[in-house]
């Protein structure tokens, strides 16, 4: 069960009950910007400080190195992220 570490030190366990990282973050009442929730608008862009995510569907939005879209991804390893 990969852990998702936030910049404030809080760790969330991604236990598979949420479909995506965005869903998992929202269940913990964390506010992440979003629009399309499908990977084509890029509104939910977050920083991936360490670890690896995999995409449920390949994002169309431009994603820089060190960034990821939580709306269409799940963690593969423990990850550390920053929500803007």
Which of 23, 38, 78, 80 touches another protein by CB under 8 A?
38
C-alpha–C-alpha distance, residues 64 and 66, integer Å: 6
- Stretch 41-80: interaction string toward another protein, x if CB under 8 A: xxx-x------------x-xxx-x----------------
Q: State the DSSP string of 16-45.
A: SSSSSHHHHHHHTT-----S-SSSSS-TT-
With CB under 8 A as the contact rule, which of the stretches 4-12, 13-21, 34-42, 74-82 interacts with another protein? 34-42
Of 3 and 30, which has the nearer Cβ to another protein? Answer: 30
3-state secondary structure of 71: helix
Q: Which is nearer to another protein, 3 or 60 (CB)?
A: 60
Could you tell me how many residues make up the chain? Answer: 84
């Amino acid at each position: 069960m990969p852990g998702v570490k936030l910049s404030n030190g809080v760790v969330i366990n991604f236990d598979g009950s949420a479909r995506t990282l965005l869903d998992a973050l929202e269940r913990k009442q964390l506010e992440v910007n979003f629009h399309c929730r499908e990977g084509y608008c890029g509104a939910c862009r977050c920083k991936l400080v360490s670890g690896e995510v995999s995409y449920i569907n390949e994002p169309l939005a431009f994603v820089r190195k060190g960034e990821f879209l939580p709306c269409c991804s799940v963690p593969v390893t423990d990850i550390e992220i920053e929500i803007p």
